[in-house]
Amino acid sequence: MSLEIKQLAKRYGSVVAIRQASLKVNDGEVMAILGGNGSGKSTLAKIIGGAVNPSEGIITYGTEKLQVKSPKDAKRKGIVITSQELSLFDNLSVKTNLLMCEIPRKFGLFVDKNTLEKRAEGIMGKMGISHLLDKPTKELAPNEQYMVEFAKALIQEPKVLIIDEITSALYREDVEMVKNLVAELKRKGCMILFISHRMSEIFSMCDSVTVMKNGETIGTFGINEKSENELLSLMTGKDLTRVEESEVVSHGREDKAEMMLSIKNLKLQSFSKSIDLEVRKGEIIGVAGLQGHGQSDLVRTLFGLQQHIKINLDGKQIDITNPYQSVQAGLAFISGDREREGVYGTRSISENLRSVKELVTKQGDVPEEELLKDYGVVFNSVNQPINTLSGGNQQKVVIGRWMATEPKVVLADDPTKGIDVQARRDVHRILHKLAEKGSAVIMVSSDDEELVELTKRVKLAKIIVMYEGQISAILKGSDITTENIISASMPIGV
């Protein structure tokens, strides 16, 4: 059995979301759908899942032409989609949310409540989150909500499962759980379409990969047919198959660089142990660790979002009690949650760029178009609403507005979450430029490989690994590896 898409297209008036897409996935196959933001991946997923009707094209399922009129119709045919757009009810418990799944049987009947409850408890137990069943959904952490969303899909025992970027909101241990469950589904013959920007997930979970660019499928390849850079070249149209040796630099000596930020005996909220940290001018520090061990708390505390602290910044003792003081002192904060903490969605690109500049009351105008082009932002006009840009381009605007303030320290909390691979590289390039100009950068990431990539391309860098609110390891030079990060995340005797 297979699911095949031929010459699929989707237009919204004059806007083309999918120009021409074709692919074929078989029973027990995990196929990655890889492409930049705006390439048509999510639209394709929504068409297969019944949320969007195609303008043209044919979908066949086995030997029959497939017409999916709605998500409920798709579920009736065994097609389930789980995505970043949560379908959970905040005020209801996790169990109630899971029991609201209407799972069709033959003859118009539905799976009974008792069977559904046993199935829900079994899957939540497999995922290690059965303790969440009676909690109100609104009390869950974001990653827990996405795990429940994934459980909701599994309860429906899909024949075709579409996973649309939920792993971008998950921590390492959550992703490992998803990998195990995907492998189990694969053994049962489920077809899986997996959309992710994380190459490590694609190469470890998938059998094949279909590349999309500008609303078209460029080709489908066996997972070992193309390297990461070859896939990126297909996505972007740029030759990225050769990594220049000059891009990887030897780390410099810390004692030659001036101190930018020093903190002593900092106790983060909810943790009993303290942190000492020194960051030098031009240094990039990656912050790693398992979920909930204080990584985000560290950068948010330094920006004045959580508690009153004292820091030594560029030779001066500073009291930080709120974000306004932080900005005035020369700190910048980049959140991975763009919608809530990054952009003013309905305002223009220009207004978003100027918002922080006006706050710090520096003289001179922001050279807007020049700045945007320098950061690789794809836009039509600085007056267009920022929410018309892709996630990656929105994040580059957020970083660009901080660049205009000439920050002393940049605090970044998973800033590339949910953006495509090329946009991630662009963000890294901007952070490298900041470091070259003397800014210190402290960046949290839930992706260990990203931190390794970020820190190996700058002269002064290290990775700190956090465990129970303290620093369990400081990795430098050749010690910066994903294996060492994982080991330090679960230390013995700490």
Single out the residue of 254, 307, 253 nearest to residue 280, CA to CA.
254
Question: In terms of domains, do 203 and 293 share one?
Answer: no
Per-residue pLDDT of the chain (494 residues; tens, 9 = 90+): 899 999 999 998 887 889 999 999 999 999 999 987 678 888 999 999 999 999 999 999 988 898 888 988 898 899 999 987 788 998 899 999 998 876 555 445 555 678 788 888 999 999 999 999 999 999 998 889 999 999 999 999 999 999 998 887 788 889 999 999 999 999 999 999 999 878 889 999 999 999 998 899 999 999 999 998 898 888 877 776 554 444 555 555 665 779 999 999 999 987 888 999 999 999 999 999 877 789 999 999 999 998 889 999 999 999 999 988 998 899 999 988 777 777 777 888 888 887 776 555 544 555 788 778 877 888 888 888 888 887 778 888 888 888 778 899 999 999 888 777 888 888 898 899 899 999 999 999 988 889 999 998 888 999 999 988 999 999 999 999 988 888 788 765 45
Q: How many domains does the chain have?
A: 2
Q: For residues 422 and 38, what is the distance between their CA atoms, to the nearest angstrom? A: 12
Question: In terms of domains, do 334 and 390 share one?
Answer: yes
pTM of the model: 0.69
Question: In terms of domains, do 264 and 203 share one?
Answer: no
Question: In terms of domains, do 354 and 447 share one?
Answer: yes
Question: In terms of domains, do 63 and 196 share one?
Answer: yes
Question: In terms of domains, do 198 and 311 share one?
Answer: no
Question: In terms of domains, do 112 and 36 share one?
Answer: yes
Cβ atoms of 402 and 381 within 8 Å: the answer is no
- What does the angle CA 383 – CA 358 – CA 443 come to, to the nearest 5 degrees? 90
Sign of CA dihedral 218, 180, 110, 107: positive
Q: For residues 175 and 27, what is the distance between their CA atoms, to the nearest angstrom? A: 23
Q: Is residue 15 part of a domain?
A: yes
Single out the residue of 181, 240, 183 nearest to residue 211, CA to CA.
240
User: What is the CATH classification number for the domain harbouring 116?
Assistant: 3.40.50.300
Q: Is residue 102 part of a domain?
A: yes
Amino acid identity at 257: A
Cβ atoms of 416 and 426 within 8 Å: the answer is no
Question: In terms of domains, do 285 and 351 share one?
Answer: yes
* Beta bridge partners of residue 18, listed in sequence order: 10
Q: Is residue 244 part of a domain?
A: no
Q: Is residue 247 part of a domain?
A: no
Question: In terms of domains, do 303 and 334 share one?
Answer: yes
Q: For residues 320 and 325, what is the distance between their CA atoms, to the nearest angstrom? A: 6
- How many alpha carbons lie under 13 Å from residue 319 in its C-beta half-sphere? 2
Question: Burial level of 388, CB count in 10 A (0-12/13-18/19+)?
Answer: middle
Q: Is residue 250 part of a domain?
A: no
Question: In terms of domains, do 221 and 287 share one?
Answer: no
Q: Is residue 249 part of a domain?
A: no
Domain range for 40: 2-236
Question: In terms of domains, do 46 and 182 share one?
Answer: yes
Name residues whose C-beta falls within 8 Å of residue 89's C-beta, 6 or more positions apart in sequence.
96, 97, 100, 137
Question: In terms of domains, do 226 and 260 share one?
Answer: no
Query: How, if at all, do strands 30-35 and 191-195 pair?
Result: parallel
